[in-house]
Structure 1
Amino acid sequence: MATLSPEMPKSDDRKSSKDVVAKLNYVGEMHDRAVYDIRNPAGSNIVWDTRDVTIHDVRPHLDKFTMDTQGFAFVKLPSKFAENPELFEGNRKARHFVTDDSLDVQYAQEICDYIQNMTGARDVFPRLGGLVMRTSTRASAEKAAWAPPAEFVHLDFAPQAMQGWIDKTLAAKPRDLKPYSRVQLFQAWRCISPGPQDNTLAICDGDTVSSDDKVIVDSMTGDPSIPGNRWDSRMCHYSPDHRWYYMPDMEPDDLVLFKGYDSDVPDAMNAMHSAFQNPLGQTGVPRKSIEARILAFYD
């Protein structure tokens, strides 16, 4: 992959570290298949193992990370569309399937262009499903989005689910996709509310997570008979070896780019992530965030 350094925030942008200790929800001991229903918590059976974890300010460490090893990068990517209120409103109430002239497509294209330039992938396009908007659950939050912050340690996709997502994406919008040797799914997350964020995203160094830590989960967002509403994802058992990072005081042109899946290393646990309540931001503006999910294919 191409180097990210020309567009990465500088590691000395902030002199003082803002490491925090916060609660992260891992999966405890489970005897049955794990089920997590985002919209109907009563349909879930997860036994949570909540831990106090140190989450490190990423800025002093930015030059240590690579996408292939840690599974993530913090980059600068200004957007013409991210702060447009219509983009948020169009995705706030339900899973949104985009049209060719929508703001969704224009926003996603900015990220596709960046990923293609970064990786040299042959074909790069959004995964079926639209953009994911999330808002703080604080009472002062402006408007609630359809999905609350995901305050549990997880990877959104398991290897056995990926071909299904590719097939659904191509069925929704047919493309001339030639045979490929590798596919990656990238997730691109940014906060569009000002810092200090009350709730933000923590990313785990993939080099510190063993595949033995994983738990396969049935994830659901509604009627499982509707395509896209049920899929295999991954959660995780706790290990003291895990090392966590976040970027405090994110600005709208700060982007967290991380791998949700890589066919070259399908069982790699990078990059596990979780929303968390930031103790340094509880008097700040309630979180408002946007996430795009992008497929990249290689010859």
Structure 2
Amino acid sequence: MPDVRAADSTNLVRPPMAAWVEAPVNYLADLSIKPVTYNPPLGTGLPRREGNYRDFVVRIHDARPFVRDLSLDRQAFILTHHDTEVRDFLDEEEVRTRYHAEVEALIKRETGAAKVVVFDHTVRTADRAVERGLRTPVRSVHNDYTEKSGPQRVRDLLPADEAEVRLKKRFAEYNVWRNIDQAPIEMAPLGFVDSESMAPRDLAICDLVYADRTGEIYQGVYNADHRWCYFPAMTRDEAILIKCYDSLKDGRARFSLHSAFDDPTSPANARPRQSIEARAFAFFD
């Protein structure tokens, strides 16, 4: 099983809980069926999943009142102000040349990493995603990397000699998630499980099958002890950093769980969510 937290956290100060909403989120109910997700090429259809998934109603707290108390090494997610000069997030070249550099600088600022490699990004929309060649919001409780796939992705990305050197020191994978619409998010916000409320049994290995390769992610197994948070009405100048993997096993958060959900306070005519997540490895000396 993955090592979620290896040390006693009883002496840590937990952030106080504030206002909340109740909403269903999609978990694995159990492991009676091995979870597998089949991701078709962009523009050809929606992902197909195998596994005993069920919706569970959870209480999701507004984390804005205690945002300054959140930590990547405790909760595994933070919200920060982050201006961007990107004009069109649907312009692939502009995102790769301009936004990737902004994400690299942001992760260095927030983590103190010696080197950051931004290697991927995904634009998601709740408005005609397949027709537009984009992805839809992910409505299952998951984490993007596993104990195995984190190091493997480093080997995929870096020259062999550098990869082996980097893997001997601490490294982590972060997702940077933001709203790309000019108006605040009204539909399908992202919810997060406080990593301090997770147990190793909550993370189930799920094969992620593409046309040309098979990877691994974790799917979340339902645990009534999970503490959920979100940031309502996110604006374009805000970014969430999500830690999806950390090689260090010293008691800090190593993995996270997150999912889009239907906010019951959203207006009836809510604007379709449009977002981008960039993925990056941070390497520490």
- After TM superposition, the score normalised by the length of structure 2 is 0.82
Q: How many residues align?
A: 260
User: In 2 relative to 1, CA 105–43 (structure 1 residues): closer, same or farther, beyond 3 Å?
Assistant: same
Q: Which residue of 2 aligns with 1:156?
A: 144
Superposition pairs of residues 125-164 of structure 1, within 5 angstroms? 125-127=117-119, 130-137=120-127, 144-164=132-152
> What SS does structure 2 have at the residue aligned with 1:62?
helix
Q: Which residue of 1 aligns with 2:32?
A: 31
Query: Offset of 1:265 from its aligned partner?
Result: 3.4
Superposition pairs of residues 81-96 of structure 1, within 5 angstroms? 81=86, 84-85=87-88, 87-90=89-92
Pairwise CA RMSD? 2.7
> What SS does structure 2 have at the residue aligned with 1:202?
strand
Q: Which residue of 1 aligns with 2:6?
A: none
Contact 1:134 1:145 in 2 (8 A): no
> What SS does structure 2 have at the residue aligned with 1:63?
helix
Q: Which residue of 2 aligns with 1:191?
A: 179
Answer yes or no: is 1:72 the counterpart of 2:77: yes
Q: Which residue of 2 aligns with 1:5?
A: none
From 59, 65, 68, give the equivalent of 1:63.
68
Superposition pairs of residues 270-289 of structure 1, within 5 angstroms? 270-282=255-267, 283-289=269-275
Contact 2:175 2:278 in 1 (8 A): yes
Contact 2:27 2:221 in 1 (8 A): yes
From 79, 91, 96, give the equivalent of 1:104.
96
Structure 1, unaligned runs of 5 or more: 1-10, 12-16, 91-100
Structure 2, unaligned runs of 5 or more: 1-14
User: In 2 relative to 1, CA 33–286 (structure 1 residues): closer, same or farther, beyond 3 Å?
Assistant: same
Residue 80 of structure 1 aligns to which amino acid in structure 2? Answer: E
Query: Offset of 1:200 from its aligned partner?
Result: 1.2
Q: Which residue of 2 aligns with 1:6?
A: none
Superposition pairs of residues 220-239 of structure 1, within 5 angstroms? 220=209, 222-223=210-211, 226=212, 229-239=213-223
Between 162-171 and 44-53, report the one with greater CA deviation: 162-171
Query: Offset of 1:170 from its aligned partner?
Result: 2.1
Answer yes or no: is 1:169 the counterpart of 2:135: no
Structure 2 CA distance, aligned partners of 1:42 and 1:104? 25
Contact 1:185 1:295 in 2 (8 A): yes
Query: Offset of 1:279 from its aligned partner?
Result: 1.9
Q: Which residue of 2 aligns with 1:116?
A: 108
Q: In percent, how many aligned pairs have the same letter?
A: 26
Superposition pairs of residues 216-295 of structure 1, within 5 angstroms? 216-220=205-209, 222-223=210-211, 226=212, 229-265=213-249, 270-282=255-267, 283-295=269-281
Query: Offset of 1:148 from its aligned partner?
Result: 1.1
Query: Offset of 1:42 from its aligned partner?
Result: 7.8
Query: Offset of 1:145 from its aligned partner?
Result: 4.6
- After TM superposition, the score normalised by the length of structure 1 is 0.79
